[in-house]
Amino acid sequence: MAASRLWGVPACLALLLLLLLPADAVYEDQVGKFDWRQQYVGKLKFASLEASQGSKKLIVATEKNVMAAFNSRTGDILWRHVDKGTPEGVVDTMLIHGQDAITVSNGGRILRSWETNIGGLNWEISMDTGSFQMASLVGLQDSIKYVAVLKKGVLSLHYLSNGHQKWVEQLPDSETVQYQLVYSHGTGVVYVLGVSPQSHVSILAFSVEDGEIAKQSRVEAPWIRSLSQSCAAMGEAVLACADVATASLYTLSLDSSEGMKQVLLESLGLQVMEPFQARLWSSQPNPASASRAQFLVQLSPTHFALLLLHRNGVLSLLRDFPQAGLVTFATTNEKTVAAVLTCKAEAEFLSCHNRSYVTNLYLAETGQRLLDTTISFTLEKSSPRPEQLYIQVFLKKDDSVGYRALVQTADHMLLFFQQPGKVLWSREESLAEVVNLQMVDLPLTGAQAELEGEFGKKADGLLGMVLKRLSSQLILLQAWTAHLWKMFYDARKPRSLIKNEINIDNLARDEFNLQKMIVVVTASGKLFGIESSSGTILWKQYLQDVKPGSSFKLMVQRTTAHFPHPPQCTLLVKDKETGRSSLYVFNPIFGRWSQVAPPVLERPILQSLLLPIMDQDYAKVLLLIDDEYKVTVFPATRNVLRQLEEMAPSVSFYLADVEQGKLSGRQLRKDLTTEESWEITIPTDVQRIVTVKGKRANEHVHSQGRVMGDRSVLYKSLNPNLLAVVTESTDSHHERTFIGIYLIDSVTGRIIHSSVQRKAKGPVHIVHSENWVVYQYWNTKARRNEFTVLELYEGTEQYNATAFSSLDRPFLPQVLQQSYIFPSAISAMEVTITERGITSRHLLIGLPSGAILSLPKALLDPRRPEIPTEQTREENLIPYSPDVQIHAERFINYNQTISRMRGIYTAPSGLESTCLVVAYGLDLYQTRVYPSKQFDVLKDDYDYVLISSVLFGLVFATMITKRLAQVKLLNRAWR
């Protein structure tokens, strides 16, 4: 007992010391001060809007494998669940029952139930593998108790309360029959419909209680190909199908033994034009009862019709919509309505040039248009047409029908309207797929621009220059007075009421250039201009001709430094299928298309290159190399062509063909043709090229070398033309996999260094900066993530200290290499960058958890010694340890996690200590990092009052002391 007490005292002391250690944290008043986060869900796949006037949420499932709920009044996300970004997380269907949402994911393997108020998971079950076809709620005796899941050869019935399986039955003839539809209308029978293409329709009727087949029949239908979309079950178990070839509808009673009845659309008074779409919609508000006998049929992309199916199988036309774009059903209580979206000018929906649209409601039972149910709205001229329409219908106090409309456009924008067309909120969901971005400095203020020409020109004469100087000083005085008045006015308000409204008209560069314009390109072909300090979207443009899957490259040709010339960005778009490329030139501050006409690109572009030379308007020259190795110059002025002719021998570029495993370098000739200077072939049957990484053009290196412990200098090998090429083995066996890295000079094709990591595989993330390369991979043998760092040095003597030339490098650099263990996988990786390169480098590592780790580069130094010596301690080298720990205080985004992070972008600011960071994935996050602390900025809690009081006190004491000294000297002189 005594010994245990003795051991307990040191333990308590150790615990007390741990509690007394300092810890880094984010204060409450610092949250959101220098950073912001915007959360998104992606393009909608399914949506459900509650049918009540006071409803507060919208339930959605998206193509980004996200389940979420929106606040219907503000558009904010109430809750969100992000599933895997792989096909395993795909949401196949979503059903709503009361306050529960039923989803089927992963091709029918996972069935889930969600509580829609808080987003909690009620239950989750795993099902057997199989090709998912359809899911449907099953009602029995006026109550909904089950959910039926149909797969290629299996039908299973599950309880809604807990997900347990009631029964599962194999479907007969599943090898030849494609089962695609499930229908139930509360009679205790579940119908399963299948089709044998161009042969017959198979009908199976299962008992809800025990799963036995109550009826099995087969109906000849040699014209039918598929049931999905072209067929719908409705009413008292009647199947309606559309036939494209004969432009007719077929009806079939599932309970009777009669064959299909054909009804020509022309006999209903409908004019069928090519192409005939053959798509049907039905409405079943309550699965415990029969669906509505009314259904919608699409005849062409802009032609719909509302039809009524009578009990005897006869069809009649209720309403024809010849110029409709989108239609949908919605139900509240016992009223079912059809919502129809059309172009306002009664023009063709696909070519609605004024972008004005109208939504109207029609009573499904009669096709009669409901009065006072019009929603009119107008989209921006650059916006695409609407793609999806969802309706939230409710009954007003006077029993009339009211509704709100959720519209999704082709650029993934969500708009929520209420009558008569007021936009309650909008969301730019295309920002969930950012593919490229740049940060551009904001323009000068009027006062700053006035200072650029403060002294005027010599041609103005002496008097004109003086007047110019006086006018500029007057403008500065006015700006300073307005600033003081705003400070005084804001000081009288509570901090919460002070609004710094940012719009495109008052944009101006701040004192330390911390406020920038973030130019974002999304996968849907939409451009955004986002103000970096608040995340406000200031402008947006949509590229109409961009196809999905295209690749983008955004380049800044002219910055705001060349006043009065406006800044200029160029976007290179390459179609994935055809390879055709196009250029778009615009002003990144205001989002306006430039008056400069870009060249028409007739051939696919292989490489683009921004040269350091400029035209007479200070725009950098862009070289575009097509698949015939011809060069297109933009801008192609006479001055530019003359400069290119002079410097052509010094212009070289590289091309990478991943499919053939070829790396080649080409050189520019004076006649603007190219010639091959080198080529390296990597055998594709052994390994494939994964990444080719160069250095950033705006990177600055402050120190040319490192001071050693013995006071000698180890000079860095700073090759601006160096490429880091990462390859991965094609053999997937864990014993034979490997990761290779090649450091290649892009001018000469010389392989500076190559190394192989055995028993390793990707994904590989790499950072290339200054004289070092860091890459991360998965070690299959040790089953862990590892970092490998390479550093290149010239040695203790520098070969040429004045200029670098790849053609004059007789000695290979010394390469130092070391590996480290990292305890987590990585989603993205980037290095900090500052204006002069003085600040220490940090690696910004995006983790799968959504956190961003700021890791000092010093921890990945290959020169870290295993046994410290006096010289290594003199250099402040950290002793080597194979493990790199993750400390929570190094997370720069505290609890503002970024879901599915895909990339990190860094940009310098006007302060050397500060680096601006933007992380993007499913969310957007912007913040500032200080790798070497804020050594050039006073802290927020700096005591200005105390310092000012001390200074005034010293000045006052100095004046009194001086006066006393004068009196003393005067008295001494009179003695």
Q: What percent of the chain has pLDDT over 70?
A: 93
Q: Is 471 helix (H, G, I), strand (E, B) or coil?
A: helix
Residue range 149-164: mean pLDDT, rounded? 92
DSSP single-letter state for residue 891? B
* 774: number of Cβ within 10 Å: 23
H/E run at residue 950: helix 944-974
Q: For the ranges 77-91, 392-406, 920-934, which has the lowest average pLDDT?
A: 392-406
Residue range 437-443: mean pLDDT, rounded? 92
pLDDT at 438: 93
The pLDDT-based confidence of 98 (bands split at 50, 70, 90) is confident
Number of residues written out for the chain: 975
The pLDDT-based confidence of 30 (bands split at 50, 70, 90) is low
pLDDT at 204: 92
Average pLDDT value over all residues in the chain: 87
- The CA-atom distances, in angstroms, between 260 and each of 177, 296, 308, 313, 792 are 18, 19, 17, 10, 78
d(CA 165, CA 146): 9
pLDDT at 15: 37
pLDDT at 457: 54
- Predicted confidence (pLDDT) at residue 248 exceeds the cutoff of 60: yes
- Predicted confidence (pLDDT) at residue 947 exceeds the cutoff of 50: yes
Residue range 251-255: mean pLDDT, rounded? 88
pLDDT at 25: 52
Q: Which of 501, 534, 500 is nearest to 517 (CA)?
A: 534
Q: Which of 614, 630, 619 is nearest to 581 (CA)?
A: 630
Residue range 888-917: mean pLDDT, rounded? 93
pLDDT at 109: 92
d(CA 46, CA 61): 5
CB 557 within 8 A of CB 439: no
Spell out the residues 6+ positions from residue 685 whose beta carbon is closer than 8 angstroms to its own: 730
Q: Which of 761, 756, 768, 765 is nearest to 730 (CA)?
A: 761
d(CA 611, CA 687): 33
pTM: 0.88
Nearest 5°: the CA angle 622, 627, 633 is 20
The pLDDT-based confidence of 237 (bands split at 50, 70, 90) is confident
CB 865 within 8 A of CB 872: yes
Give the residue, 311 or 820, on which the prediction is more confident. 820
Q: Which of 216, 196, 97, 98 is nearest to 155 (CA)?
A: 216
Q: Is 834 helix (H, G, I), strand (E, B) or coil?
A: coil
Residue type for position 238: V
pLDDT at 446: 60
- Predicted confidence (pLDDT) at residue 458 exceeds the cutoff of 70: no
The pLDDT-based confidence of 937 (bands split at 50, 70, 90) is confident
Q: Is 575 helix (H, G, I), strand (E, B) or coil?
A: coil
Question: Is the CA virtual torsion 272, 276, 277, 278 positive or negative?
Answer: positive
d(CA 454, CA 443): 17
Tens of pLDDT, residue by residue over 171-183, are: 998 888 999 999 9
d(CA 833, CA 846): 17
d(CA 693, CA 831): 13
- Predicted confidence (pLDDT) at residue 23 exceeds the cutoff of 60: no
